[in-house]
Chain A
């Protein structure tokens, strides 16, 4: 038997190998370029459109709030693209017959695949924020970048982790990568938000435990855009508490990630 330390280092090395392998895959399949292009193009629209046809909002917070309202959409697209086929692809395309018969613990491969999906999604979010920050500096000056901007960035990253964890879990359960990708996409864009709305406006309970509920914090931290009436009675949409929201998303990240790894490890090439 190998000494414990040596064994762990070898597992870490294998995980890093998988991460590199996954990043190469995303790069070669042009997903990386597509997502990075979107991450630059989307915030540019909010810069170019007012410059050409209108005027910029009065405050930097308002500009950031409007601009960053699309980052959630981009997170879901990128997460679905990068994590959708992480596990299910190996089973569907039977490449797992080559990969899983190598001298590696299967869990190290799965952890590597998860991180391999998380890194490019983080990169996409970071590019989006970087582009937005350049725009804010260009329009409102250096001082316009406040702590709220970084809080929003932090929320976006935590939401990214929970979204990737969810899609990774789907990937570890489902057989087809297209089903995984679509289920991940629609869960985050439609299913969870609908459940959230029903709970909030029909049953009238705060849906703080729904994964997508705290995502509003990405723009809510600026408190720059007035809340508007919604729902059957015209109720005002509530915003989750910042720390509670972070805790909920972090919990989802960890629980879904571990569930995904455990289910993948149980899954076999039958």
Chain B
């Protein structure tokens, strides 16, 4: 496959700030047409830096970032023409109205006048700002500014969307609306690359995820595959009748079938086991009771993307130590 076979492709991308800070370290990934890919990682992992390189806001120290086969940093006009982006929390031009704001960006994308007019109505409707079409943006709330910035990203009907924390600053209803919007892009075969710290959101809209830690990709997988791994009951929440002393915790840790015990509160723990077999779950309960613990509740549960993410990070931090 060549560069142009992928909508987004990075090749050994490295970004250093100064001599010692490596924000992005040899990151390579490919995203095909119509894929919705989540880009996950803790704060400072290098997500926004990657996205800024992909949108020509930063130049990589080495490596390449291509969109539609065009090198973003060398051919920005061609590479970014079909891209809608929302990066971080941008400022907005407070002296303009949404109508003027979108008109300007429409012109930048060489949209014909008639299309600009039509799209302003459609997009402001979509982001629920129609009522404020001719009001100064300076009087908008943070949520409204955010919605307008999202509107700007989709205004020229791009085939590629690059979104950095798109639901940041939105209320639950706004988050739901953006989720629905992203889902509708999937149906339209639009490629979406989004970073988010809301893992639940990512699992609901993405086809696959890339996990980033300390500037490096530590896992790249489809959400389906992660679901497959996590659907087994590997976690058990237990509530005891009495507060658990340190010796009690040690006793629990001594049970061979258990991988790890995490104290949640005085009388609650979370048990992690590597095998999701239900027989094992039942045997663990027997063993706990045999060891004299008084159990109030015992609830095995499925892990989700968040648990997967936390286990990856913990593993990585463990390796680093």
Contacts and interface: CB of A to CB of B under 8 A. Distances in A.
A94 B87 CA distance: 10
B249 to A, nearest CB: 45
Interface in B240-280: none
A22 to B, nearest CB: 11
Interface residues of A, number: 26
Interface in B48-83: 52, 55-59, 76-81, 83
Interface in A71-113: 93-98, 100-106
B152 interface: yes
B55 A28 contact: no
Nearest to B49: A270
A240 to B, nearest CB: 41
Contact of A101 (B17, B87, B100): B87
Given A25-B93, A96-B57, A269-B58, 16 more contacts: A14-B108, A29-B95, A94-B89, A94-B90, A95-B92, A97-B57, A97-B88, A97-B91, A100-B57, A101-B85, A103-B79, A103-B83, A105-B77, A268-B58, A268-B59, A270-B52
B96 interface: yes
A103 B58 contact: no
A98 B149 contact: yes
Interface residues of B, number: 32
Contacts of B88: 94, 97
Interface of A: 2, 7, 10, 14, 17, 21, 24-25, 28-29, 93-98, 100-106, 268-270
20 contacts: A7-B77, A10-B77, A17-B104, A29-B95, A93-B91, A94-B89, A94-B90, A95-B92, A96-B57, A96-B90, A97-B87, A98-B152, A100-B56, A103-B76, A103-B77, A103-B108, A106-B56, A268-B58, A270-B17, A270-B52
A28 B149 CA distance: 21
B152 A101 contact: no
A47 to B, nearest CB: 34
B107 interface: yes
A28 B58 contact: no
Contact of B80 (A93, A96, A101, A269): A101
A94 B85 CA distance: 14
B80 A103 contact: yes
B105 interface: yes
A269 B149 CA distance: 17
B109 interface: yes
A268 B57 contact: yes
B90 A97 contact: yes
Contacts of A98: 90-92, 105, 149, 152
B10 to A, nearest CB: 16
A106 B72 CA distance: 12
A28 B77 contact: no
B113 to A, nearest CB: 14
B76 A269 contact: no
B76 A24 contact: no
Contact of A270 (B58, B79, B91): B58
Given A100-B57, A103-B78, A95 B91 contact: yes
A101 B87 CA distance: 9
In this complex, the member of A101, A102, A105, A268 whose beta carbon has the largest number of chain B beta carbons within 10 angstroms is: A101
A29 B79 CA distance: 34
Nearest to A93: B91
Contacts of A268: 52, 57-59
Interface in B157-203: none
B100 A24 contact: yes
Contacts of A29: 95
B56 A28 contact: no
Nearest to A27: B95
A106 B108 CA distance: 13
A21 B81 contact: no
A104 B105 CA distance: 11
A105 B79 CA distance: 11
A100 B88 CA distance: 13
In this complex, the member of B58, B76, B91 whose beta carbon has the largest number of chain A beta carbons within 10 angstroms is: B91
B60 to A, nearest CB: 11
A95 B80 CA distance: 17
B76 to A, nearest CB: 6
Contacts of B100: 24
7 closest A-B pairs by beta carbon, nearest first, are A97-B90, A93-B91, A28-B95, A101-B55, A103-B80, A94-B91, A269-B57
